[in-house]
Amino acid sequence: MKAYTYLIGWSKLNKWYYGVRYAKGCDSSELWISYFTSSKFVKTFRRENGEPDVIEIRKIFEDVKYAQRYEKRVLQFLKVTSSIKWLNEGVSGYPGGWNRGHPTSEDTKQKIALRHKNKKRPDWVREKLKIGAEKRNMSIKHGRWACNEIEEIQIYDNKLPSGFKYGRLIGIGSDKKNQVIEMLDKGIIYQTICDSVGVGMGTVSRIKKELYSS
């Protein structure tokens, strides 16, 4: 034996997982004795709901590649990525599921939430996200502009005051507009223009559109 497919299930909860196992020296007798699948979904679900009441060996193979193809066909037939009753994250060979490119269903969203439940991001991941946020002009350092009909303010805590909306006052003087145009001609990035001239991203974008449409 070189590989086998199996079915794990919590019948009372109608939750199931279909998988394939292949490794040097693997044997079907190991299932749920020393091998408990590699699925993070199954690990989380098992921790919260206890042991499954259905543990079945479905098919035994002498060829690993054939076993993998067989599992793929079964998962596609069962449409595991579009049903909440299946704990399978996706289908082998199709990152993110075989329905990639289509709107995410509520069932799939629940699967994603289950996978990330109680999961703390490592420090390096949080630092990388912080850097990315700064590049997208969402840094706490710069804040976000908001305005009402007569004044504009910068917000640093994402709490929008009553009567305000995100953005800058529409009207700017001709001097500032000329500065923006000059910096746009030089290929200077939006954030630098905003910081230097004291205007919002929307204003810079509108001026650029005017230039292209003229």
Does 103 map to a domain?
A: yes
Does 123 map to a domain?
A: no
* Residue numbers of the domain that contains 148: 140-213
For residue 192, count CB atoms less than 10 angstroms from its CB and return exposed for 0-12, middle for 13-18, buried for 19 or more: exposed
CB 4 within 8 A of CB 60: yes
Shared domain check, 67 and 170: no
The residues facing 77 across adjacent strands are none
The pTM (predicted TM-score) of the whole model is 0.46
The per-residue pLDDT string of the chain (214 residues; one tens digit each, 9 = 90 and over) reads 689 999 999 999 999 999 999 988 889 999 999 999 988 888 888 988 999 999 999 999 999 999 999 999 999 888 887 777 888 877 764 444 434 344 566 766 777 777 766 667 667 667 666 766 665 554 445 567 777 656 667 777 777 888 887 776 655 666 777 888 888 888 788 788 888 887 777 778 777 776 665 4
pLDDT value of residue 45 = 87
Shared domain check, 91 and 9: yes
CB 143 within 8 A of CB 166: no
Sorted by sequence, the CB contacts under 8 Å of residue 165 that are 6+ apart come out as 146, 147, 148
Report DSSP letters for 64-126, one per residue: HHHHHHHHHHHHHHHTGGG-TTB----BTTBTT-TTTTSPPPHHHHHHHHHHHTTPPPPHHHH
Task: Dig out the tokens for 176 from the structure.
Answer: 């500032």
Say how far apart CA 90 and CA 142 lie, in whole Å: 40
pLDDT value of residue 96 = 43
Does 52 map to a domain?
A: yes
pLDDT value of residue 112 = 72
b/e code 158-184 from CB counts within 10 Å (16+ = b): eeeeeebeeebeeebeeeebebbbebb
Does 133 map to a domain?
A: no
Shared domain check, 111 and 148: no
- Rg, Å, the chain Cα set: 27
32: phi then psi, degrees, rounded to nearest 5: 65, 15
Exposure of 129 in the CB half-sphere (CA atoms within 13 A): 6
Does 131 map to a domain?
A: no
In the chain the first and final C-alpha atoms are separated, in Å, by: 72
CB 26 within 8 A of CB 55: no
The total number of structural domains that make up the chain: 2
